[in-house]
Chains A and B, each alone.
Chain A
């Protein structure tokens, strides 16, 4: 079996794009100290809203814009629950995933069986949105590490009491981070429906949002780490599809487990490193997953 390395690489970065967007968004959310388990729900919302807009307008780029808005809009439900109503973040995130999956399935019925408009191909045979994802990696890194707002955001995530005492608005910062995470997840979801599968099917994100959450852990909460994790995942996906196409004597159902098993293995390896390594240690934000309530 001949495999052209360049075409494999192109497939790999394409396969990793949905996860890359979602994980970069979630990275910013978690650096602000919020654990949003609703990534899957926001992705599927973006997948449907983006597909519907692209189909109705015939313009795929408009689809991605609408997907970003839809993802951000639905993430505000989570933001309201956790930031205003001080609800448990794990439960609220799960609620967002369940609600998003249901909502998309409900409104998606009329769009089943229709085809998305064709995506224009960008420079170097690479889709424009793939480029955008790659560009977002240094942008997010630069924002988190080289800007004042990024520093405030990290401070809020590391120790919300201290950030509050310094006069920073913890809730507003987190609200903005959550909305950004929603928009990025929405774009990631739309990439699946508009650019990869080219149609809408119920539950089409198939756990990509959860894999994105695992990749944020894998990245040790850094943007370059997210890229590495997304590419690793993309590699496993492409390899698995190649093996399926090549007719390897392993049942298709078992091959298609590969991305999920790889995610578990990677998660275990990185957690073990963070747990046992004396030097590295976990870089998880100090206030991750805890709610902030200002008494004064």
Chain B
């Protein structure tokens, strides 16, 4: 008989090993899945995980890595803080969309004004929009005890419809000949979020993502608020006796993760996406949840996990083009990754022993 003995504290070695194991297990299972679908498994795995960085078309796909990783890391950094405290913001996708809309709204309202302060103002509006959208579930939980999981998730569907309404209605480009979608912000110099260093894909969102990693690391390991958050997650009763107010944490965590998601949305709308469309949300908010868990809710881990999942996005697109694999392959991979991670996590929290028959 096998028996599980809970560890006093999570094993550090396994905490680092299990994400790696989860990635390897995903590759093996993914390979089997491809074989099942009639593709060469080795070629498929190489196309997804290797070719985007070192393959023949790598010079095109490499910059994409930072473009895709930036929103994931930015959003996941915020989510991880809440997850540490047991506050589940599942609606980052909605906060991302609203942040993109509020940020773009500033630019579209001031068009064609050119000023150095326009882009910073848009970032502020994006942060504020995401923050406000995140504060809705926070306040509804604090005032009425409504589940922040369900409210934040419902607000994703509401945000998607707001985006569609904006793209077809108020924000439609007046010179767009009736096509839905706003003006292209990339062609509006003061509002554009350009590539800062040619050929790297690095735009202001990448800078913000790096800053978010540093700032959340500081918050969680050097600041009293971070200590409170960790305390509330591991020992809620003890935290309350220490004077941590759960309501403050709910508002702080949902507000912060909302603001970061909103900023990610703004950087996307003003940069790679370029305009407000009804397809503003592309799932970064959901993938970021996987990034947060795969990164062990730790800033450095999130940085690495964000890059890896960005790789699967690019690799997935590549596999779609070269091997005609379905676009949803990436989604399946990401889901599998989280499954394996959660399963292997057993090793960090429990020791496995063989039980002697009494």
Contacts and interface: CB of A to CB of B under 8 A. Distances in A.
B108 interface: no
Interface stretch (B46-54, B151-159, B203-211): B151-159
Interface stretch (A8-16, A89-97, A131-139): A89-97
For the complex of A and B, the 10 pairs showing the least CB-CB separation, nearest first, are: A99-B335, A102-B331, A105-B328, A253-B165, A87-B342, A275-B145, A272-B144, A102-B332, A95-B338, A106-B328
B331 A91 contact: no
Given A99-B332, A207-B157, A264-B155, A86 B147 contact: no
Contact of A253 (B161, B286, B334): B161
19 contacts: A80-B343, A81-B342, A91-B338, A95-B290, A95-B338, A98-B338, A99-B335, A102-B331, A105-B328, A207-B153, A251-B165, A254-B165, A260-B154, A260-B155, A264-B146, A267-B147, A268-B151, A271-B147, A295-B6
Nearest to B170: A251
B244 to A, nearest CB: 20
Contact of B144 (A88, A253, A271): A271
Most buried by A among B144, B156, B168, B293: B144
Most buried by A among B146, B157, B164: B146
Q: How large is the interface on A (under 10, 10 to 19, 20 to 34, 35 or more residues)?
A: 35 or more
A7 to B, nearest CB: 27
B150 A101 contact: no
B343 A103 contact: no
B147 A217 contact: yes
Contacts of B339: 77, 81, 92, 95, 99
A264 to B, nearest CB: 5
Contacts of A275: 144-145
A86 B157 contact: no
A105 B333 CA distance: 12
A214 interface: yes
Contacts of A159: none
Interface in B132-190: 140, 143-147, 149-151, 153-158, 161-162, 164-165, 168-169
Nearest to A109: B326
B336 interface: yes
Interface string A283-296: 00000000001010
Contact of B157 (A80, A103, A257, A295): A257
B137 to A, nearest CB: 9
A87 B147 contact: no
Q: Main secondary structure on chain B at its contact with chain A?
A: helix
A186 B174 CA distance: 45
Contacts of A6: none
A207 B156 CA distance: 9
A196 interface: no
A250 B46 CA distance: 50
B14 interface: no
B146 A271 contact: yes
A252 to B, nearest CB: 8
A253 B153 CA distance: 18
A249 interface: no
Interface string A259-280: 0110110011101101100000
A146 to B, nearest CB: 29
Given A91-B293, A98-B290, A98-B335, 14 more contacts: A85-B343, A87-B342, A99-B336, A100-B335, A102-B328, A102-B332, A103-B328, A105-B328, A106-B326, A253-B165, A257-B157, A260-B155, A264-B155, A275-B144
B146 A267 contact: yes
B145 A253 contact: no
Contacts of B338: 91, 94-95, 98-99
A114 B185 CA distance: 39
Interface in A104-140: 104-106, 109
B289 interface: yes
B35 interface: no
Most buried by A among B88, B150, B286: B150
Contacts of A213: 150
A207 B334 CA distance: 20
Interface stretch (B234-242, B245-253, B268-276, B345-353): B345-353
B214 interface: no
Contact of B349 (A86, A100, A251, A268): A86
Nearest to B136: A264
Interface in B262-319: 286, 289-290, 293
Given A267-B146, A271-B146, A275-B144, A253 B162 contact: yes
Most buried by A among B286, B289, B328, B345: B328
B121 interface: no
B10 interface: no
A202 B331 CA distance: 13
B9 to A, nearest CB: 16
Nearest to B342: A87
Given A105-B327, A251-B165, A293-B6, A86 B346 contact: yes
B329 to A, nearest CB: 6
Interface string B1-12: 000101000000
